[in-house]
Copies of this chain bind each other. A is one copy, B any other.
Amino acid sequence: AKLWGGRFEDSVTDAVERFSESVSFDKALYKQDIMGSRAHARMLAHQGLMTVSDRDSILHGLDEIERRIEAGEFVWRMDREDVHMNIEAALTDMIGEPAKKLHTARSRNDQVVTDLRLWCREAIDKIVASIKQLQVALIKLGLNNEGLIVPGYTHLQRAQPVLLQHLLLSYVEQLERDVGRLVDCKDRMNFCPLGACALAGTGLPIDRFLTSDALGFTAPMRNSIDAVSDRDFVLEFLSANSITAVHLSRLGEEWVLWASEEFGFLTPSDSVSTGSSIMPQKKNPDPMELVRGKSARVVGDLMTLLVLCKGLPQAYNRDLQEDKEPLFDSVKTVLGMLEVTTEFAQNIAFNHARIQKVLPAGHLDATTLADYLVNKGMPFRTSHEIVGRCVALCVTKNCQLSELPLDQLQGINSIFKEDVYDFLGVENSVDKFSSYGSTGSECVAEQLNFWISKLQIDQTENEKTE
């Protein structure tokens, strides 16, 4: 019989039971549920709503239940619907009468959302830690490839030469904003709904500040209806995850491209590649394809939750039970994506020789040449046009800008002098970039130092282990 069965004559049908149960997935909240019950029992005893002896029975019972769950000895029962009822009913089976007092001044409505906030808080900490590991891996990858110049792309067309370190740091920046979003989300969600009960609060003399403190929340939530109704903290968390996932999908795309025969810029080690069941020559960068692909489910999870919450009136509606699986999936997926991207970053080699060989193609120094003309006092639009003509000449003659003899340059415009060759060629070009945040080696070193210090990266160790 259900714990709410007082006025019910029939039990629900099997199909309804199967369709409605949540214990198959919300048992993932067992630790948070027990944590919440401990705090609640202590508060009830402190407020005189339960004897100290009842409290102690409950606490010991909960310890034992937690032990059993972690040992795999606990039997989860679908007919007990959810994690809350499973634990409470098991507690009653174990300690009897005192267990019936645990649900005083509490409802599953405030209980589940307390559990969920505790779970999210911890999940955010894990994701933030994983992001930091990836940031460190990207920076170390840069340190191990110092001085490597690669083409910078716009429109997937070669645009300007950049230091690989500079490119890698652009991902580190994006990940840092991801951390910021998660931390803000955590701060905003870290308020305690416990004590909101079904939706209206309670008339019993509880102390919500006590439970809030005990559970590490900033404060109790101010409005009991709000406390049980809203899932905006999950929406915000899944939004943050989606943005992180999109960031990783972009890195995934880039590395899949770079691992292709046509680019040939990087080679993953065997330990992060897979082969083909039919084509013996294949070596596929599958982990990064999956990182790119799995971003889709993180976005899908967010979409599920937005559709779910749309148009529900206050306060708790059973629809909200469906908040958990997308949340769990989003967290698991993002953690996996981060972990695997980190491993991939630790297991790729950049093909310096190949990159150096193909680097001259694409007139990557054209903008530097335009800067040269601007430095000579020519308006930018004019210089842009002149460089355009130089490039057209190169295309006709199938050569590099640096290979155009001075007289031919001067044939286009007499402003060109011998010093122009200091601006041509990718090495010269990359060296000229000097504005704050640009790809010039000094600017990049400055960025690197910022991150090494911020992330407390130990470079000595780095050199040893890699």
B162 touching A200, Cβ below 8 Å: yes
Task: Please tell me if the beta carbons of B283 and A7 are within 8 angstroms of each other in the complex.
Answer: yes
Determine if A318 is an interface residue (Cβ-Cβ < 8 Å).
yes
Tell me the bound Cα distance from A151 to B98 in angstroms.
33
Known: A105-B371, A198-B278, A279-B366. 19 other contacts (CB 8 A): A6-B388, A6-B391, A7-B283, A12-B271, A15-B339, A18-B336, A19-B336, A84-B277, A159-B315, A174-B230, A177-B188, A181-B188, A181-B236, A197-B435, A257-B257, A262-B358, A278-B367, A280-B388, A296-B322
Q: Which residues of B contact A222 (CB under 8 A)?
A: 173, 437, 447, 450
Q: What distance in Å separates the Cβ of A200 from its nearest Cβ neighbour in chain B?
A: 4
**Given A154-B109, A159-B282, residue A104 in contact with residue B205 (CB < 8 A):** no
The distance in angstroms between the C-alpha atoms of A177 and B276, with both chains bound, is 29
Please give the distance in Å from A295's CB to the nearest CB on chain B: 6
Known contacts A16-B287, A154-B284: does B250 contact A208 (CB below 8 Å)?
no
Offer 20 A-B interface pairs, CB within 8 angstroms, sorted by A: A6-B392, A7-B280, A8-B273, A9-B270, A19-B337, A104-B379, A105-B374, A154-B317, A155-B286, A160-B198, A173-B226, A200-B438, A223-B447, A274-B318, A280-B385, A280-B390, A290-B319, A292-B311, A296-B308, A299-B306
* Most chain B CB within a 10 A radius of its CB, from A85, A200, A270, A395: A200
A314 within 8 A of B: yes
The chain B residue sitting closest to A212, CB to CB, is B436
Q: Is A156 at the interface (CB under 8 A from chain B)?
A: yes
Q: In the complex, A101 Cα to B383 Cα: how many Å? A: 10
* A124-157 contact mask (Cβ, 8 Å, vs B): 1 or 0: 0000000000000000000000000001111111
Per assembly, the copies of the chain total 4
Q: Tell me which of B2, B162, B287, B361 contacts A275 (CB under 8 A).
A: B2
A168: min CB distance to chain B, Å: 10
CB contacts under 8 Å to B, within A201-247, are: 201-206, 208-209, 220-230, 232, 235-236, 239-240, 242-243, 246-247
Determine if B317 and A275 form an interchain contact, defined as CB atoms under 8 angstroms apart. no
Say whether A326 contacts B340, CB under 8 Å. Answer: no
6 closest Cβ pairs, A-B complex: A201-B438, A6-B388, A293-B319, A300-B304, A4-B275, A203-B432
Complex Cα spacing A397 to B404, Å: 37
A403 within 8 A of B: no
* Assembled-state Cα–Cα distance A31/B30 (Å): 35
- 8 A Cβ contacts from A79-119 to B: 84-85, 92, 97-109
Q: Within the complex, what minimum Cβ distance (angstroms) separates A201 from chain B?
A: 2
List residues of chain B with CB within 8 A of the CB of A6: 275, 280, 384-389, 391-392
User: In this assembly, does A161 line the interface, its C-beta being within 8 Å of a C-beta of chain B?
Assistant: yes
Are B250 and A314 in contact (CB-based, < 8 A)?
Answer: yes
A457 interface residue (CB < 8 Å to B)? no
The answer on a CB contact under 8 Å between A201 and B246 is no
- Residue contact A156 to B202, C-beta cutoff 8 Å: no
Interface contact A170-B310, CB-CB below 8 Å? no
Interface contact B153-A440, CB-CB below 8 Å: no
Within 8 Å of chain B (Cβ to Cβ): is A439? Answer: yes
Instruction: State whether the Cβ of A356 lies closer than 8 Å to any Cβ in chain B.
Output: no
Residue-wise, chain A 1-38 has the 8 Å CB interface mask toward B (1 for contact) of 01111111111110110111000000000000000000
Chain B residue nearest to A391 in the complex (CB): B281
A55 within 8 Å of B by Cβ? no
| Contact status B225-A271, CB under 8 Å | no
